[in-house]
Amino acid sequence: VNNLQAITSTLTTEAFGNAVAQWGSSANPYRFAGAWGYRDDGDAGLLHVGARYYDAQVGRFLSRDVVLSEHPYLFCEHEPVNSQAVPDCVSATPR
């Protein structure tokens, strides 16, 4: 959205964040779930989420979650429709 409140670009993603359609020319590194701090690093095609990098192509983080969990590399416990990953390296299910 520009200063005139006109939409300048859009992005459509799959459930795990992989981009499937893009329109417009606005440069915006906050591509997937931008409100939570998912930032596109540009060069490697990875998303920087809080303290870790996430690969939307495979739906997994590249490093272990610092909080002990059964599946330390999973995104949203592998349920992106019913959960959300917060940037503090913790998966949370909305209540």
pTM: 0.57
CA distance 57 to 59: 6
- Going by pLDDT thresholds of 50, 70 and 90, the confidence category of residue 90 is very low
Query: Who contacts 32 (Cβ-Cβ below 8 Å, separation ≥6)?
Result: 11, 13, 17, 19, 38, 40, 47, 56
Average pLDDT over residues 79-89: 56
Indicate if the pLDDT at residue 84 is higher than 80: no
Cα-atom radius of gyration of the chain, to the nearest Å? 14
Number of helical H runs and strand E runs in the chain: 0, 8
